[in-house]
Amino acid sequence: MLETFNQTTAAATSGKLTFGLVAAIWSASVGFSAIQDSLNIVYKVKETRSYVAARLSAIGVTIILMVLVTLMLASLLGADLFVRMASVHINYHFLADGIILLIKGIGWILAIILLSLFFAVIYYFAPNVKASQWHWLTPGSAVGIIGWILASIGLRLYVHFFNNYTVTYGGLGAVIVLLTWFYLTGLMLLLGAEINS
């Protein structure tokens, strides 16, 4: 896999990278446009923004969400990195266990705060509600976050214990699992929006 990555990056130029980034943001913003349409239906409002305004809003929010997802992953992966460093450099076993637990806890707390911000950004910008107010945490986002975490854990357990999908689907199994996870994420977003509305 590393060899494939190195071959791909060796052939990349700045023009290809820019085009790929713009295409990725545009494609992701199409997904956010679908979220806008869905949340308008949930909130029972009509889209009054022009196509250009709605699409520019979708692109801007998509960039914000990409940054939030990157920071969430960085907090979890960074916590794992610091845990490995702490376990190597601290000689006292009981002290190392306490520091490892503290680092993992901080990583998860940061990730949950960023996940709450992720839901708040979507619920604030997506529906075309006239008098929308910013809320860090709403009942819908709390249910959505908890449901998303439980659904993600459930999917992970299913993939871990019942991994016969690769026998049936081969290399497409990973894509199917990813699309299923996207479906569960969208379902939890809609469930939270329904509770909020």
Check whether residue 166 and residue 195 sit in a common domain.
Answer: yes
Check whether residue 191 and residue 118 sit in a common domain.
Answer: no
pTM, rounded to two decimals: 0.76
Tokens of 115: 């996940």
Residue 110 included in any domain: yes
Residue 122 included in any domain: yes
Name the domain boundary from 75, 102, 130: 130
Residue 25 CB neighbour total at 10 angstroms: 14
Number of domains in the chain: 2
Stretch 35-52: mean pLDDT: 86
Check whether residue 152 and residue 191 sit in a common domain.
Answer: yes
The per-residue pLDDT for range 104-154, each reduced to its tens digit, is 888 888 988 998 998 898 888 888 887 778 888 889 899 999 998 999 899
Check whether residue 106 and residue 180 sit in a common domain.
Answer: no
Check whether residue 113 and residue 22 sit in a common domain.
Answer: yes
Check whether residue 34 and residue 86 sit in a common domain.
Answer: yes
Predicted local confidence at residue 103, as pLDDT:
82
Mean pLDDT over each residue of the chain, to the nearest integer? 82
Q: 185 is in which domain, residue-wise?
A: 138-197
Rounded to whole angstroms, how far apart are CA atoms 48 and 5? Answer: 44
Stretch 53-69: mean pLDDT: 87
Rounded to whole angstroms, how far apart are CA atoms 70 and 58? Answer: 18
Between 99 and 73, name the one with better pLDDT: 73
Check whether residue 90 and residue 154 sit in a common domain.
Answer: no
Check whether residue 26 and residue 114 sit in a common domain.
Answer: yes
Check whether residue 79 and residue 123 sit in a common domain.
Answer: yes
